[in-house]
């Protein structure tokens, strides 16, 4: 018979009255329960230390992992919040931490090496460094700093153009989908219009999956598809066969589906040739806009240039720290005030050089996980929302001459005296209206309440009865 786990545990823990022992536990003579051995508590501090070390390592060395949906949403939320900080006053801007260079500088080894070099030289400046070393000119460092500044500014400028060029491509995708939705809601039945716009939104969302590892299909596209209803199970199965995470084949496949929808509508007589060509043009422009980020990914800033910038900054900053420390005074000319001022100059120079280099690197890939990168999830959701709102547009009533005329007469703002119609007063004494101009044209507008006579003065128009 198998004893239950709880019963077996209680049986094993109970002391034996005959022998006085159970296992290694000893029962006291007065019948009290044995005191359990104290457990080693050293494992908990060890686990906490390991956890802290892992957290610090994750800050210093970012690990490649599949981003969860919750992580992506949190990153997107912080990005949208940072965009609102641009218009804040200077003092408030300086108090921020997220999305600033301070977050990078705090963990940058080159900054700390530069400042440590400066401090070490200043510690030995009075006793170990001859006085003539402090009188050496630093013209060569000035020239090197000028050349380095030129390379850094050029590097940032190239990445700046790259960043906003890719942003324009993302906005172009949104514009093409809006254009197709506007044409479709006026020319196609709802089921064809909805399917076409659904495919274009699916291509838009799938375009970012193969572009970056930050947006994997298992988390990003899976949840986007579930929330927005972009694809059916059969259509999703087709994309799984192609493999969403491998390049842009999937979004190009969906573009083919969009073109096929236009061909089907043309064959059914729903579209005339000119309108069908307009649809095809917008769909192919979407494909071109989705393809440009892949072109940029295939040709980043040349590695030779990036390596050259990194090498120059790594060699320049420690050398600049040494020369600045000696310029602050050596031997009997050592003064603490000069050392502090020079130290601040070294710190500012390090922030300038490292900040420009990091800024260029951050802007080189706008589809990553940095807080300054493009808000991909926001773009996809915004485009889907507003394209479907276009499909649900409510059309006003047909145009009415009476309504349009009344709106013109009731508006307080005039377009100009020369463009306003001139009104003739009716003479009620004879009961008839007398024309005073040979070229005047009388038109009568009648409704249920009154009859209003208007005169259109135009010599080119004849009178109509």
Say if residues 308 and 360 touch (Cβ distance below 8 Å).
no
Name the residue ranges covered by the structural domains of the chain: 71-159+301-374, 168-298+379-391
Kindly state the average pLDDT of the residues 310-319.
93
Q: What is the pLDDT of residues 228-280, one digit of tens each?
A: 999 999 999 999 999 888 888 999 999 999 999 999 999 999 999 999 999 99
Query: Does 465 have pLDDT greater than 90?
Result: no
The least confident of 152-161, 186-195, 421-430 is 421-430
pTM for the structure as a whole: 0.72
């Amino acid at each position: 018979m198998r004893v239950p786990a709880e019963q077996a545990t209680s049986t094993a823990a109970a002391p034996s009255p005959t022998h006085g022992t159970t296992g290694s536990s000893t029962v006291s003579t007065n019948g009290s329960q044995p005191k359990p051995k104290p457990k080693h508590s050293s494992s908990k501090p060890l686990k906490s230390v390991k956890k802290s070390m892992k957290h610090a390592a994750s800050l210093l060395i970012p690990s490649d992992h599949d981003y969860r949906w919750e992580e992506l949403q949190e990153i997107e939320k912080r990005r949208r919040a940072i965009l609102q900080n641009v218009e804040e006053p200077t003092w408030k801007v300086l108090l921020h931490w997220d999305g600033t260079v301070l977050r990078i500088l705090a963990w940058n080894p080159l900054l700390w090496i530069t400042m440590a070099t400066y401090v070490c030289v200043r510690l030995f400046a009075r006793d170990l460094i001859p006085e003539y070393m402090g009188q050496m000119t630093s013209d060569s460092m000035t020239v090197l700093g000028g050349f380095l500044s030129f390379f850094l500014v050029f590097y940032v400028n190239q990445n700046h153009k790259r960043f906003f060029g890719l942003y324009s491509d993302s906005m172009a995708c949104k514009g093409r989908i809006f254009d197709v939705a506007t044409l479709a809601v006026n020319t196609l039945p709802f089921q064809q219009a909805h399917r076409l716009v659904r495919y274009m939104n699916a291509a838009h969302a799938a375009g970012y999956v193969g572009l970056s590892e930050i947006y994997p299909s298992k988390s990003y596209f899976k949840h986007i598809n579930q929330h927005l209803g972009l694809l059916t199970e059969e259509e999703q199965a087709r994309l799984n066969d192609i493999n969403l995470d491998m390049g842009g084949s999937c979004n190009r496949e969906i573009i083919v589906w969009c073109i096929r929808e236009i061909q089907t509508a043309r064959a059914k007589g729903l579209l005339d040739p000119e309108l069908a060509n307009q649809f095809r043009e917008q769909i192919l422009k979407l494909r071109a806009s989705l393809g440009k980020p892949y072109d940029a990914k295939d040709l980043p800033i040349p590695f030779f240039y990036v390596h050259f910038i990194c090498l120059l900054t790594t060699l320049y900053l420690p050398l600049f720290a040494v020369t600045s420390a000696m310029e602050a005074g050596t031997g009997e000319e050592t003064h603490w005030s000069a050392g502090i001022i020079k130290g601040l100059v070294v710190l500012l120079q390090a922030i300038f050089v490292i900040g420009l280099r990091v800024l260029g690197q951050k802007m080189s890939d706008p589809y990553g996980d940095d807080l300054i990168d493009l808000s991909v999830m926001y773009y996809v959701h915004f485009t889907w929302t507003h394209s479907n709102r276009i499909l649900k547009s409510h059309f006003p009533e047909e145009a009415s001459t009476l309504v349009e005329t009344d709106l013109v007469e009731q508006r307080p703002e005039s377009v100009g005296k020369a463009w306003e119609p001139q009104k003739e007063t009716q003479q009620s004494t004879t009961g008839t209206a007398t024309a005073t101009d040979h070229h005047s044209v009388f038109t009568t507008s009648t409704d249920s309440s009154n009859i209003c006579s208007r005169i259109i003065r135009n010599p080119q128009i004849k009178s109509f009865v």
